[in-house]
Amino acid sequence: MQVSVETTQGLQRRMTVQIPAERVDKEVESRLRSLAGRVRLDGFRPGKVPFKIVRQRFGTQVRSEVLEEVLQQTYSEAITQQKLRPATPPMIEPTQFEPGKDVEYVATFEVFPEIELKGIQGMALKKPNAEISDADIDEVIENLRKQQAEYKVVERPAADGDKVVVDFVGKIDGEDFPGNAGEDVTVLIGSGQMPPEFEEALKGLSAGETKDIEYTFPANFPDKNVAEKTAVFKTTVKSVEEPQLPELNDGFAEKVGIKEGGLEELRKVVRENLERQRDQVVHNLLKNQVMEKLLEANDIELPQGIVDSEIDHLRKQAQARAGRMDGDEEPELPASSFEDEARRRVALGLLVNEIIRQHDIRLDQNRVREKLQEIASSFGDPQQIIRFYTQNRELMQEVEMSVLEDQVVDWVVERAKVELQETSFQALMRGEATEAQESQE
């Protein structure tokens, strides 16, 4: 087998493969003779069909099958021989397939770029360091108490945290509009379930009082007929109820799911949950820094075929989010809208894979199991979700790739210069640690 390779442009390669005729012809002959011993044709006893007739009837079909197999085999052999790493499937063009002559074809494909990893040793990273305080735990438990609150009717003006039952009728320029009225609507002041202006206006009102509340609909309001228009809602308060928080005791702990250990165990469980949240946020912040710094340090050429595939993937995701299907008459979203993000994703994928390849990072199956447990824990039947994932190879590949990325991040962080930045848990969760990092860079 003779192989020659030429670079056409960038990462594209044109590989010409020549296969001796004997390799194909011998295999065709062997299969036809095997077929002659089994074939049944009218006028002949089984296994007694003359070979000449077998060749006439089945020669073209058998040769086509052999050629297809030989092309697959020789393509793999050729790229191994030439030490190539194809990044895209080949486009194969036959140039000589005539019987009795050497077979020749041209395979055109893109290869992965040669990457000399830079910027890993001594990479400068900032890691937030946030301790979980008793106040953080107290806040979570207080929120749990509010969730378990019972409400009691009171004869006083409404205040923050109260539950207010109202009737309202809204008008725009004196006219009704769709969804303008409501009866016995419950509003929890301060919860954000209603527009802030509406909730704020209810403060200070007692049962039986009526107030006109103005509200301007935002520009992005789904009903374009009322968007950016101001409505006046004539609102009547029917009742005001204040929350009665449960006592903070072992009984409360049991009510929120702590079967044994009471309040002490509840505080322990809350702390563990907050630590998990903190660690995940810190990991994500480190991961974002690692990925951005890898991109900054490594300007690599990208296989256009992979970029195009990623653009198509992002476009389909966007269409699915918008509720559009492939058959919709609306024009397809332009590729240019997704190109920057696609190129970023492809570049990061290549860099991560190169770190895995060069440093022989193996998938940690224990972390895969932990990741599955984490995903499944938010569903009612975790074991069913785990079975669903383990029986779906595509979903499992996503989980495994996510774990491998985490392992790569950990590997890079071990070799980086990590500066600890003290912060509070609340500031970390509000994203203020990220803002502080960005302002210093």
CATH value at residue 182:
3.10.50.40
Q: What percentage of the chain has pLDDT greater than the value 90?
A: 76
The model's pLDDT over 82-105, given as tens digits with 9 standing for 90+, comes to: 999 999 999 999 999 888 899 999
Characterize 2-23 residue by residue with b for buried, 16 or more Cβ atoms within 10 angstroms of its Cβ, and e for exposed: ebebeeeeebbbbbbbbbeeeb
Residues 263 and 232 in one domain: no
Q: Does residue 140 form part of some domain?
A: no
Q: Does residue 184 form part of some domain?
A: yes
Residues 420 and 279 in one domain: yes
Residues 6+ apart with CB under 8 A from 46: 38, 40
Output the six-digit token pair for 258: 């702590």
Residues 217 and 276 in one domain: no
Q: How far is CA 235 from CA 70, 157, 179, 228, 281, in A?
A: 80, 15, 14, 21, 43
Residues 273 and 394 in one domain: yes
Residues 403 and 275 in one domain: yes
Query: What confidence score (pLDDT) does residue 31 get?
Result: 87
Q: Which of 244, 267, 297 finishes a domain?
A: 244
Residues 213 and 276 in one domain: no
Residues 234 and 166 in one domain: yes
Residues 273 and 395 in one domain: yes
Q: Does residue 54 form part of some domain?
A: yes
The model's pLDDT over 375-400, given as tens digits with 9 standing for 90+, comes to: 998 888 899 999 999 999 999 999 99
Residues 327 and 301 in one domain: yes
Q: Does residue 102 form part of some domain?
A: yes
Output the six-digit token pair for 163: 């539950």
Please name the residue ranges forming H helices in 103-226. Answer: 134-147, 196-202
Q: Which of 244, 278, 299 finishes a domain?
A: 244
Residues 376 and 228 in one domain: no
Query: What confidence score (pLDDT) does residue 35 get?
Result: 82
Residue 129 has pLDDT above 90, yes or no: yes
Residues 210 and 289 in one domain: no
The model's pLDDT over 153-194, given as tens digits with 9 standing for 90+, comes to: 999 999 999 999 999 999 999 999 998 999 999 999 998 889
Mean pLDDT score of the chain: 91
For residue 74, the enclosing domain spans 2-110
Give the C-alpha separation, 394 to 265, whole Å. Answer: 40
Q: Does residue 116 form part of some domain?
A: no
As for how many domains the chain has, the answer is: 3
The CATH number of whichever domain residue 346 belongs to comes to 1.10.3120.10
The model's pLDDT over 402-425, given as tens digits with 9 standing for 90+, comes to: 999 999 999 999 999 999 999 999
Q: Does residue 34 form part of some domain?
A: yes
Q: Does residue 137 form part of some domain?
A: no
The model's pLDDT over 264-314, given as tens digits with 9 standing for 90+, comes to: 999 999 999 999 999 999 999 999 999 999 999 999 999 999 999 999 999
The CATH number of whichever domain residue 68 belongs to comes to 3.30.70.1050
SS3 category, 168: strand
Q: Which of 179, 214, 244 finishes a domain?
A: 244
Q: How many CB atoms lie within 10 A of CB 296?
A: 10
Residues 309 and 397 in one domain: yes
Give the C-alpha separation, 66 to 28, whole Å. Answer: 7
Q: Does residue 35 form part of some domain?
A: yes
Output the six-digit token pair for 52: 């000449």
